[in-house]
Structure 1
């Protein structure tokens, strides 16, 4: 494999590893927000921001964790036949299907960018009592889809290297 492909795969996987490890700790932040929500209800101090904050953090947790999950190959597969195939056939199947994934992520990223630009340009806010701006969570969505797209391409290069019996 060319050196630029090796560098690309290492670079993308290093970024997604760090982002994924950071993202794991968002679960504790979500738990803290929910504990604050519970405490505010017990003490009759309204905190109308807690539910939406927890939802926004969970979006970040879920979406930013996806590239890391793909990197570690811990994503869920619904396979009836895949698990019975030999490794070489599995890799060839992965190489074929990764193009569908890349197309899908590309469409999602296009929509996310369009939605984020629109949200930012009009100052879109959530129609609730707290009324937080929506562009930050939409920006996180764009970043997550970008990282997932980069990871899918890196996964493709790893599969090609495996098929050629070359290490990256």
Structure 2
């Protein structure tokens, strides 16, 4: 069982590490968009797409970088008591709190899947069966949701990124849970 846990941890940590290292460069994409926005407003006609595109890039940066941040332990913690605890006590506390986080991420993931299905023109109440139907050909994409701004981009790409980010965060939380279990068993992580 420990070998299976270690294999899962290794794969998930590797995927999230690589994704995080790639996504951290999105800050430069964001800076480029905002720089172009400033230049176009000053010297040319203002671009209508820059603000919304900057928001989309920031969402991707934040949500896809979250699992990497969690993996490195650089997430915000209340260190008043936690910093002084032993590794075993921290593992017990993390084991308890990660259960709440897994539930929360599950609810967010369900909402993201529902919202993405809606953005693809699905009006029903079973978003997972809609995506299964898309794969088998029994469902079709309807009228796609667009933003209400003047640029009017389709919303499904950013909502799909939200699904990916939440799924990777869920996997990283399970990886951290398994690491805590290994620590409590006294095995090296």
| Fold-level similarity (TM above 0.5) | yes
Which of the two has greater helix per residue? 1
Which stretch shows the higher mean deviation, 81-90 or 137-146? 81-90
Tell me the secondary structure at the aligned position of residue 81 of structure 1: helix
Aligned to 1:6: 6
Give, in whole Å, the separation in 1 of the partners of 2:28 and 2:98: 33
C-alpha separation in 2, matches of 1:125 and 1:158 = 42
Q: Which residue pairs with 2:179 in the alignment?
A: 158
**What TM-score do the two structures reach when normalised by structure 1?**
0.96
Partner of 1:138: 159
User: What secondary structure does 1:111 align onto?
Assistant: helix
Equivalent-residue separation in structure 2 for 1:43 and 1:80 (angstroms): 51
What's the RMSD between the two structures over aligned residues? 1.1
Q: Give yes or no for the alignment of 1:67 onto 2:67.
A: yes
**How far has the Cα of 1:79 moved from its partner?**
3.8
1:163 to partner: Cα distance: 1.4
Shift of 1:162: 1.2
| Matching residue of 1:51 | 51
Query: Corresponding residue for 1:129?
Result: 150
Runs of 4 or more, structure 1, over 3 Å off, are none
State the 1:42 CA deviation: 1.4
Distance 1:60 1:21 in 2: 13
**Deviation of 1:60 (Å):** 0.3
Distance 1:50 1:95 in 2: 42
